[in-house]
Amino acid sequence: MGNHLDQFLDQKYINLETYKKDGTPVRTPVWFVIDNDLIYVITRESTGKVKRLKNNHDVRIVLCSFKGEPKNEWIKGKAEKIIGEKADIVIKLRKKKYGMSARLVGLLRKGNSIVYSIELTD
């Protein structure tokens, strides 16, 4: 696993920075999983993240607390929407990592799940 990815092992949250059309950054703490040297984030189709990522695939991430306070240095990346079997695998990995919490969130939130991979570019 690459040097940048090592810091994310056994961690719970990353702060995901996406960008509005005018370039304004929006930071959101999210759960994540790692598979095949990529970071994956799962969100709902109706979230602002999805809208912003449709317009701009550039992101930055950093390890963070539950409230989003950064624990390290920001790293640049490129996000890509993942569909099909790979998306299903990532959703299962998240359920395994986050256990009952992931199942409860899945039941409580409405809308379709969307999976994004993040390839680190720094």
Q: Write out the chain's pLDDT in tens, 122 residues.
A: 456 888 999 899 999 999 999 999 999 999 999 999 999 999 988 899 999 999 999 999 999 999 999 999 999 999 999 999 999 999 999 989 988 776 666 555 666 889 999 999 97
DSSP state of 47: S
> What's the angle, vertex CA 37, arms to CA 77 and CA 47, rounded to 5?
50
pLDDT value at position 112? 84
**CB 82, CB 115: distance < 8 Å:** yes
List alpha helices for the chain, DSSP H.
3-6, 48-55, 85-108
- Of residues 45, 42, 12, 17, the one with CA closest to residue 105: 42
Number of domains in the chain: 1
**CB 114, CB 45: distance < 8 Å:** yes
Positive or negative, the Cα torsion across 50, 54, 56, 57?
A: positive
Range of the structural domain that residue 88 is part of: 3-120
CATH classification at residue 45: 2.30.110.10
Note the Cα 66 to chain centre separation in Å: 14
